[in-house]
């Protein structure tokens, strides 16, 4: 069953959900509050700019003509990335919590062992590292550009489907050779010392590929579809908030209604660590193939050697970071580094914009907005240097249950497709 949301519902709920955006935040959140808090951050996070002009070649029976369209850039609230200890402590109560609860059982089926609430497994020994579960779910407020393009009508799903193995299946042929090329620029002395295990797996990948094949068969056997009808009914009025983001942008840019649609969909499940358990928990150590997993300073959240919150690679749920908010931020960056790329060694659905627009440098730049436990109305970059400060970044924002939800505002540059792309200025 699908529900269509009309633009005539926008005005009736606008005041209600703008009020929610100004209300004090709690240690958890729900979908209408996420939409409202996204709206409240739009003036700070959107950053709408006209970049230039794109040129296209359009040919027909009467000949060929050159057509143009405006090249613009801005941020889109694509997905909500959450980190948590147990499904019952998930910060997104009406969507993330039930999804995590269902897929914990699926993860146990895939791995063959019981997944415990600390995101470890009951066979693991004591570990001093922080280890969390994580997921990335489409923020419905990110659909404001699609809402305008569809003349105020959007089709909302009543269910959420789990990611497939389509991206993982491309890893051996596309990503694995790229990983090998990444080691070429690493000094041989490092390759033969800290990187020797990775080199051995790259030189003889048969065992690794066999493990991947086993995981893909197990994941392919999981056919979970979760009902979110109750949440969809709650969100009908909140579509007013989605339209408000476009109104805010228009007022900031002299009435422009051209936007780049983001790559996420309504409640699209782009990543769920329980479904990705063989890789997120390091059971299949494919992340250790990357040079970034062995060499300090590569892929850090921060400024590398001298100041860092933590390493992006290996992209697992384990992190050595004593500050809980920073630990969550680093894990969120790991999830983002997976879902915006193709052929990664994980079970996920790539965030990729649909056709109809020409995109430039997609997936390279993003900002973050805290949604839970404290809702912020501004966006930040993770990795700021607070080494000389009397307080640490994230102080007074910790949650007793250690559950955090972040709004990922992804930067897009695009122009509307009007034929065969030729070039853009600039």
pLDDT, one tens digit per residue, over 43-61 is 899 998 999 999 999 998 8
Residues of the chain with pLDDT under 50: 1-26, 120-127
- Would you state the pLDDT for residue 8? 39
Q: How far are the Cα atoms of 109, 118, 131, 212 from residue 121, in angstroms, in the given order?
A: 13, 8, 11, 20
- Domain limits for position 48: 3-384+399-425
Residue 174: Cβ within 10 Å count = 13
Q: d(Cα 344, Cα 64) in Å, to the nearest integer? A: 40
Q: How far apart are CA 296 and CA 409, in angstroms?
A: 27
In a domain, 343, yes or no: yes
pLDDT at residue 6, as a whole number: 40
In a domain, 285, yes or no: yes
Q: Residue 94: which of 236, 227, 4, 222 has the closest Cα?
A: 227
Q: Are 58 and 64 in contact (CB under 8 A)?
A: yes
Helix (H, G, I), strand (E, B) or coil at 275: coil
Residue 391 lies in a domain: no
HSE value, Cβ hemisphere, 13 Å, CA-based, for 7: 14
The pLDDT assigned to 14 comes to 37
Residue among 398, 369, 374 nearest 139 (CA): 369
Answering whether pTM is above 0.85, one says: yes
Measured in degrees and rounded to the nearest 5, phi and psi for residue 173 equal -90, -25
Outline where DSSP puts E strands in 151-297: 154-156, 159-161, 225-227, 269-272
For the record, the structure tokens of 417 come out as 């497709």
Assigned domain for 393 exists: no
Asked whether residue 90 is assigned to any structural domain, the reply reads yes
Q: Has residue 390 been placed in a domain?
A: no
Residue 323 in any domain: the answer is: yes
Select from 20, 25, 12 the least CA-distant residue to 36. Answer: 20
* Domain annotation covers residue 417: yes
- pLDDT at res. 22: 38
Count of structural domains within the chain? 1
pLDDT of amino acid 106: 82
- For residue 201, the model assigns a pLDDT of 87
């Amino acid at each position: 069953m699908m529900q269509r949301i009309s633009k005539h519902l926008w005005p009736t709920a606008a005041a209600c959900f703008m009020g929610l955006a100004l209300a004090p935040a709690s240690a958890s959140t729900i979908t209408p509050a996420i939409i409202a808090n996204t709206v409240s951050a739009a003036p700070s996070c959107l950053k709408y700019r006209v970049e230039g002009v794109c040129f296209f070649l359009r040919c027909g029976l009467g000949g060929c003509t050159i057509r143009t369209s405006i090249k613009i850039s801005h941020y889109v609230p694509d997905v909500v990335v959450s980190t948590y200890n147990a499904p019952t402590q998930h910060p997104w109560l009406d969507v993330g919590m039930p999804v995590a609860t269902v897929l914990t059982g699926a993860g146990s089926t895939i791995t063959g062992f019981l997944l415990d609430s600390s995101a470890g497994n009951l066979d693991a020994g004591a570990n001093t590292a922080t280890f969390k579960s994580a997921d990335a779910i489409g923020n419905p407020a990110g659909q404001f550009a699609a809402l305008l393009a569809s003349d105020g009508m959007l089709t909302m799903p009543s269910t959420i489907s789990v990611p497939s193995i389509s991206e993982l299946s491309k890893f051996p042929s596309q990503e694995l050779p790229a990983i090998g090329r990444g080691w070429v620029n690493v000094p041989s002395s490092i390759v033969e010392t800290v990187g020797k295990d990775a080199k051995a797996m790259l030189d003889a990948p048969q065992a690794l590929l066999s493990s991947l094949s086993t995981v893909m068969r197990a994941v392919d056997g999981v056919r979970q579809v979760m009902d979110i009808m109750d949440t969809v009914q709650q969100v009908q009025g909140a579509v007013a908030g989605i339209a408000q983001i476009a109104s805010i942008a228009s007022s900031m840019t002299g009435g422009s209604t051209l936007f780049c649609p983001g790559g996420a969909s309504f409640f699209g499940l782009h990543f769920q660590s329980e479904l990705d358990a063989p890789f997120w928990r390091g059971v299949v150590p494919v992340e250790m193939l990357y040079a970034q997993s062995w060499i300090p300073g590569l892929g850090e959240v921060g400024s590398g050697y001298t100041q860092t919150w933590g390493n992006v690679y290996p992209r697992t749920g384990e992190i050595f970071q004593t500050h809980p908010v920073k630990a969550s931020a680093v894990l969120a960056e790991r999830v983002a580094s997976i879902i915006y790329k193709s052929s990664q060694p994980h079970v996920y659905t790539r965030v990729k914009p649909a056709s109809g627009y020409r995109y430039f440098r997609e997936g390279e730049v993003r900002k973050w907005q805290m949604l839970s436990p404290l809702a912020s109305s501004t966006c930040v970059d993770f990795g700021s240097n607070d080494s000389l400060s009397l307080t640490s970044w994230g102080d007074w924002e910790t949650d007793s249950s250690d559950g955090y939800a972040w709004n990922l505002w992804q930067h897009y540059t695009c122009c509307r497709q009007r034929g065969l792309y030729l070039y853009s200025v600039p």
